[in-house]
Chains A and B, each alone.
Chain A
Amino acid sequence: MSWRVVARKDFADAVRSRMLWGIVGLFALLMGVSALVPSLLDIGGATLGYNFAADLAQTLVPVTALVAAYLAIAGERESGSIKLLLGAPHSRLDVTVGKFVGRAGVVLVGVLAGFVVAGLVAVVAYGELAIGEFVSVTVLTAALGVTFVGIAVGISAATSTRSRAMALAIGVFFVFALLWDLVPFALTYLRTGGLDLGGTVPAWQVLVEQSNPSRAFSQLVDAALGSGAEMTAGGGGGGEGAANPFQSRIAGAEPFYLKDWFMLVILGAWTVLPVIAGHLRFRSADL
């Protein structure tokens, strides 16, 4: 259980970082503002506010989680403090797991702080918390944060220097946040030789498109907020998730891997697999 000691120390070390608190403060502020937007524009209620907050979190949380965790192990290898950490009776597995848990804790605190502000804004501006929607969006955003912590710790475990870890973290962010919009074009082109995005596509292509953790998160948020997140004057109560968000794009029945629950599998895979892959490199590395 020695990973617990590593996680606790890592968390204690991270919360002493002023930069981290700056980021958390900024994040909370932005979450509060986006939750307020429907009220300002008079286009909806608390649920729509959470939807806007989730849209913002979809970009901000990955960046924050990557920044908070990409140096978890690589930074210690570069500074040499890893020799004190591993010089204590912790195995390399304890270090990988402890770092993941510690940094996930940091990101969870940040996400919670952001949503507490968003929730307060909702209560003040809309007179309701919409507790079900509030809790589900908070939990989903926390899951997105943990996913990117997994990716970042994986990167950090696989690299020996600050600069390499940073390059990979930036690369991941660019691919998922920016280049991903090109994926439908690329796949359609490879499949048909043309760039006609109309018509139906094979279900597997949609799976590839949804395999971006941010996309998976987005589908889950849509399902959780349902029709309450639509822009209607007044807004209000939530509804059931859309039965089949891809019905218009794919031919035939929706396969299991496009259902909402499978998006949780995608997030889980992006959390665990990078950590495992990174650890396998870290385990055999000369420090």
Chain B
Amino acid sequence: MAAIETTGLTKRFGDVRAVEELDLTVESGEVFGFLGPNGAGKSTTIDILLDFVRPTAGTAEVLGYDAQRSPTEIHQRVGILPEGYGLYDRLSGRKHVEFMIESKEVDDDPGRLLDLVGLDAEDAERAVGGYSKGMAQRLVLGMALVGDPDLLILDEPSTGLDPNGAREVRRIVRDLADGGTTVFFSSHVLGQVEAVCDRVGIMREGRLVAVDTIDGLRDSIGSGATIELEVDRVPDGVESLSIDGVSDLTAADGTIRATCLDPSAKLAVIDRVREEGAAIRDITTRESSLEDLFTAYTVDRQTEGVRA
């Protein structure tokens, strides 16, 4: 049984298409990173999984339950850190965790959970009105762990955390995943998911544009690399040159940059630029990173946005 399965999931807010025909499967036991820039439809998708938002079309299943028909069964088995949550300012951190324990009818020790997410005992007794964003984030993560959930759904869990806190969240996620918990979490920063995810999905404009393992993504970049040529002058029309094995060619400020899909293309780029009559002063090459790939998927979106 898949932990999460959506079929043709679509959500429109008026004319805005937040999620379009989303088919997404997250397997039991995996750590799945849900990536994309802000506004790509990640939070809307998560809100539908949790029945905070109703889909326009399509279905969503979580742990085998229909998200719209059986939300309480899902919430009983899922721990969540939603986007845009608020706390009960007058209640203490411990009371928040106790409320979740009572709601799920389990007998967890609130102190242990608070300790696990790094909220010290003194802070836990304070009203949460005075919490920093990072403390609030830890508290809600602690609430999410109540009842040893089968699935954790975390929407941008690193928001508001300093690098140390973000690293701790990754450690908690990894520990839980090792214990068999499925983790589904979203982020707009690839670096936060790269280290912990078994697979990632990349959203863009409400659509899933890529789903793969981290290794698979690396393979798809292949031996791809970027070559940068510093030249005395940029020949006219260099950007429209077509060179075998080169996927992208740009020129700016005396530098020609080409993305090469196979190593031999680098030499071809150098040859063609010289044929065009430019003298090369320096050559730099760089292996493509996942970050480049992520940027390729998402920068494109931003230029479209400018045009629209």
Chain A interface (Cβ within 8 Å of chain B)? Answer: 2, 5, 8-9, 12-13, 16-17, 76, 79-84, 86-91, 94, 284, 286-287
Contact = CB atoms under 8 A, between A and B. Distances in A.
B104 A286 contact: no
Contacts of A94: 72
B54 A84 contact: no
| 4 closest Cβ pairs, A-B complex | A79-B86, A80-B86, A88-B103, A81-B86
B221 interface: no
Contact of A287 (B52, B102, B103): B52
Interface stretch (B26-34, B77-85, B237-245): B77-85
Contacts of B103: 2, 5, 88-90
B90 interface: yes
A186 to B, nearest CB: 39
A214 to B, nearest CB: 31
A287 B47 contact: yes
| Interface size band for B | 20 to 34
Contacts of A89: 72-73, 75-76, 103-104
Q: Which of A86, A91, A284 gathers the greatest number of chain B CB atoms within 10 Å?
A: A86
B91 A12 contact: yes
B71 A83 contact: no
Contacts of B84: 80, 83
Given A8-B102, A16-B127, A94-B72, 8 more contacts: A12-B95, A13-B90, A82-B86, A86-B71, A86-B75, A89-B104, A90-B75, A286-B47
Contact of A286 (B53, B73, B88, B91): B53
Contacts of A90: 72, 75, 103
Q: Which of B73, B84, B85, B104 gathers the greatest number of chain A CB atoms within 10 Å?
A: B85
5 contacts: A8-B102, A83-B84, A84-B100, A86-B52, A86-B75
Contact of B50 (A9, A13, A87, A91): A87
A86 B72 CA distance: 8
A84 B140 contact: yes
B143 interface: yes
A212 B140 CA distance: 44
Q: Which of A16, A17, A84 gathers the greatest number of chain B CB atoms within 10 Å?
A: A84
Interface in B11-26: 13
Interface in B27-67: 47, 50-54
Contacts of A284: 54
Given A5-B102, A91-B71, A83 B88 contact: no
Q: Which of A9, A12, A83 gathers the greatest number of chain B CB atoms within 10 Å?
A: A83
Contacts of B51: 86
Contacts of B71: 86, 91
A13 B80 contact: no
A103 B86 CA distance: 20
A90 B52 CA distance: 12
B53 A84 contact: no
A77 to B, nearest CB: 9
Nearest to A285: B54
A84 B85 contact: yes
Contacts of B53: 286-287
B251 interface: no
A17 B90 CA distance: 8
A84 B144 CA distance: 9
A80 B102 CA distance: 20
B86 A76 contact: yes
Contacts of A13: 88, 90-91
A84 B102 contact: no
Nearest to B95: A12
Contact of B82 (A16, A76, A87, A91): A87
Nearest to B44: A286
Contact of B52 (A12, A81, A88, A286): A286
A19 B50 CA distance: 34
A82 B127 CA distance: 18
Contacts of B80: 83, 87
B268 interface: no
A220 to B, nearest CB: 36
Contacts of B54: 284, 286
B210 to A, nearest CB: 28
A88 B100 contact: yes
Contacts of A84: 82, 85-87, 96, 100, 140, 143
Nearest to A286: B53
A2 B104 CA distance: 9
A148 B85 CA distance: 29
A83 B47 CA distance: 9
Nearest to B54: A286
Nearest to A81: B86
Interface in B96-134: 96, 99-100, 102-104, 127
Given A2-B103, A286-B52, A286-B53, A88 B82 contact: no
Contacts of A286: 13, 47, 52-54
Contacts of B82: 80, 83-84, 87
Contacts of A86: 50-52, 71, 75
Given A13-B91, A76-B86, A89-B72, A83 B104 contact: no
Nearest to A78: B86
A16 B75 contact: no
B85 A80 contact: yes
Given A89-B103, A284-B54, A16 B91 contact: yes
